[in-house]
Every structure is written in structure tokens, then in C-alpha cells.
Amino acid sequence: MKKDSSVQSANAVVRYVKDDNEKNTEASFRLAYNIAQAGKPHTIAETLIKPSIIEVVSCVLGIDAAKKIEAVQCSNNIISDRIQKISDHIEDESVRRLRESDFFALQMDESTDVAGLSILLVFARYRHTNTIHEGLLLCKSLELHTTGEEIFELIDKYFKCHNIPWEKCADVCTDGAAAMVGKMKGVTSRIIEVNPNCTRSHCILHRHALATKKLSPDFKSVLDVAVQCVNFIKARPLQTRLFQNFCQEMGSDHHNLLLHTEIRWLSRGKVLDRLFELREEVKLFLEEQKKPKLSEWFHDEDWLLKLAYLTDMFTKLNETNLSLQGKNITIFQARDKIKALIKKLDFWIQCVEEDDFSCFPRLNQFLVENEVTATLHQDKIKEHLKSLKSELTKYFPNFTEDSEDAWIRDPFTVEKKNQNRYEQLIMNCYWR
């Protein structure tokens, strides 16, 4: 009897220790996952996070609870190992789902990071448990060349290594780079050679950026001057600090301008918005810095009027661009947003023709505050809006028409003209 009780006691201790170790291991994995998600160095767990948690728990729950936290392993090597295991598990799960799915689609992009290393990113969208999932499948560096052949070989090697069949690849989405869409040796062409049933598509975000990039010489000159003003202040650390101090003294809501980067699609709208908001501060600062060639533009009402219009226009285009981003955005949603933008352009053109600028808030406010009219610039604004519509129609030729795959969204929708044919066919069959 005494022996049985001691065995039970030992088993209880083993279970307690086992449960405790499992909880500590789980806590360590959760901590590693959060560090990886935040992109922080692995050493932060041991040097900052764990000591902070121990202090907080000791203060709130007591020393006994804090001692349990001390048992959680979070050294640099441990966190690194945990992150690697999490990464391997996610990759294995994604590959398994791709193999089990009937079809999947790929989206890929090749870019250069801050260290000058060429990185290939491949995202996959697939069906799992009757739900559409998407996520990062592959992130590899291209050591030498970035040709379509090398990119395809890298992806093909990965697919063969993980037994992912190309036959299940339904579509490949890329940007318009020659390495991706080249007729002979582009990545998409090589994939179609392996799987002739695979289709290819041009990234909607990339097309939107290309369609909205074109500017008339008149508006282009306004943008160029705006960039010059921003660069004069932002490109020099001393000027940046002086301008920041200048804005603080004037009690401005913002104390910095934003540097324009052509490759960032949202850059134009954000840069112009901040510049227009701080136009008075910029004007006074440029005058103080003895830059009359730049400051004189901020005394020109015509130039400011065009700047206000461009700010409004690029802000609206940024809103559309952002609405096209994010997870689980389908081609149907993207088509609706592009069609809506084209209809808005028609509406804005009509408003400009009627001398109504209320749909452009900054421009309208500028006209009211300065008691000026935009009559002289109506044709230029209207021409730019028409040019935008033309470019969008060119880059999205099928989006402006009723789609043939509309039945996917609503299988019970039948066109009236077809419905009459169906009724006639049924009647003919019935009377036979």
C-alpha cells in the first residue's frame, strides 16, 4: 500500500514537471514568434523582454509567479532555433496544402534590398478546407543573374524538391519586367512550356501605377518644382533640422516634409499633401534661406492652384491603390474598384465643366480662401482627367466591359435576351 502511494506521488511529480516544461516551451515559442513578427534582434528576449516580464509579474503576482517566468528559456540560440522551427513548420504546412489543393495561383516579384541583394518573393493562393488561403511560399536570393531563366530554374528546383506539381498551377501574376513576361525566356513563358494550361496576368497594382503616372508638361513642371523644394530641405541634415525647428516655432501640426521616391507608388500623393499643408512654412523658410527662385513659386497663385489640384488627385489615386492592397483581394473586387474609379473620373470631368470643384477639397478651399477662380485652368484639369481615364482604359481593357465570368459571383443571374431563348427552347421541347 505504501509502495503504491509512493508510485502515485512520483507520477504526479512527473506529470507536474512535464506540464511545467511544456508550458515553458510553449511560452518560449510564442515569444520567438512575436520577436520574428516584429523583426527585432533575437537577443532582445534575454536582455529586455524576459527581465521586464519578471519585474512586472513579481510586482503584480508575487515572487513565486516570477520564479516560473525565470524557467522560460530565451537565450539568443534558443530564440533562433525556435524561429527556425516555426519557419520550417509553416513552410511544410504550406507545401502540404499546395500538394493537396486542386489548383493554386502564384504571384512573384524580384527586387533588390538595401544591401544590394536580389531577392525573389513568391506568394501562393490556394484552396484549403473550402476556403481560399494565401501566403508567402518562397523567399530566395539570386546570387548572380536575374534573368527569367535563372528565376524559373530556382522556382522549378524548389517545386521538384518539395514535390509540388506544375500541373496544378492555374495562373501566374507578375509585373511587366522583361525577365518575368519575356516571350521566349521570361518566367511566365517557361512555366507555360511546362504547363500549357496555366494562364498569366499582369499585376493590377503595377498596372494602376503605370496608368496614373503620366502627366502633361504643365503639371509635370509643378511636380518637379515641388520635388526641388522638398529635396532642398530634406537632402541636407542641417536644413532638415532648421526647418523642423522653424515649424515648431510657428506651431505647425507637422514639422517635417516627406522625401519623394519615384519607385514608391504612394510617394507623390503623400509628398504633395505634406508640402501643400506646410506651404506657408516652406515659403518663409526658403525666403529666410535666400532661395528666391524656389520661394517665388509659393507666391504664384496659379502654381499653388495646380499644386492643390495635384495634391487632391494623387490623394484620390492613393486611396484606390490602397484599396487594391491587402489579403484576400479578388479579381472581382479589383475590377469593381477600377470601374468605380473610371466612373468617378467621368463625374469629375462633368463637375469641372460646370465649374464645380467641390470634389477636390484642397483646391476648392484654396479657391474660396484666396477668392480666385480656376477658369483659366479648367481645360488643363479636364484634359488631365480625360488622359487618366484613357490610360486606365488602356491598361485595364477588360475591366470596363461586362465580364464573361460574372456568373461566378452570381450563378443565378441570366441575361434577359438569353432568358427568352431558354424559354423558347423549353416551349419547343414541351410541345414536341
* Residue span of the structural domain in which 287 resides: 211-403
Domain harbouring 157, CATH code: 3.30.420.40
Q: Which residue reads 480662401 in cell numbers?
A: 369
CA 66 to chain centre: 41
What confidence score (pLDDT) does residue 22 get? 83
Q: Are residues 285 and 391 in the same domain?
A: yes
Residue 390 sits at the vertex; the CA angle it makes with 385 and 394, to the nearest 5 degrees, is: 150
Q: Does 372 fall in a domain? A: yes
The pLDDT of residue 34 is 92
Query: Do 131 and 221 fall within a single domain?
Result: no
The 10s digit of each residue's pLDDT in 169-179 is 989 988 877 78
DSSP character for 186? S
AA letter at 384 = H
Query: Quick one: cell of 317?
Result: 489615386
Sign of the alpha-carbon torsion through 15, 20, 25, 31: positive
**pTM > 0.85: yes or no:** no
pLDDT band at 19 (very low <50, low <70, confident <90, very high): low
**Cβ–Cβ under 8 Å, residues 127 and 133:** yes
For residue 254, the tally of other CB atoms under 10 A from its CB is 13
Residues 182 and 248 in one domain: no
Q: Are residues 316 and 193 in the same domain?
A: no
Distance (Å, rounded) from C-alpha 122 to C-alpha 180? 12
CA distances from 117 to 127, 141, 297 (A): 33, 7, 41
Q: 307-355, pLDDT tens digit by residue?
A: 888 889 888 888 888 888 877 788 888 888 888 888 899 888 988 888 8
pLDDT of residue 14: 36
Average pLDDT over the chain, rounded to whole? 80
Assign 3-state DSSP to the chain and report helix, strand, coil percentages, each to 5.
Answer: 65, 10, 25
Cα gap 385→397, rounded to integer Å: 18
Beta strand segments in 230-324, E: none
- At residue 165, φ and ψ (nearest 5 deg) are -80, 130
Residues 186 and 266 occupy one common structural domain? no
Quick one: 233 and 192 in the same domain? no
Which cell numbers hold the place of 43?
Answer: 537577443
Residue 16 confidence class, pLDDT cut points 50, 70, 90: very low
The average pLDDT across 48-75 equals 87
